[in-house]
Amino acid sequence: MTTTTLPRTLSLPSARTIANLALGGFAGLGFWELFSAVPTAWFAEFPLEPPELVKSLFSHQLGLTISTPVAKLLHFLTGFLFYPLGYYALTRFVKSFGMPADGWIWGVITYFIALGFFAPLAGQAFLLTDVPRLSLMSLIGHAIYGYLAAFVFEQLEASSAPVRSR
Rounding to the nearest 10 degrees, give the CA dihedral for residues 94, 22, 136, 56: 100
pTM of the model: 0.88
Nearest to 153 by CA among 73, 63, 61, 86: 86
CA 51-114-95 angle, to 5 degrees, is 135
pLDDT per residue as tens digits for the range 114-153: 999 999 999 999 999 999 999 999 999 999 999 999 999 9
pLDDT per residue as tens digits for the range 71-88: 999 999 999 999 999 999
pLDDT band at 11 (very low <50, low <70, confident <90, very high): confident
Q: How many Cβ atoms are within 10 Å of 32's Cβ, its own excluded? A: 26
Q: What is the mean pLDDT of residues 30-46?
A: 95
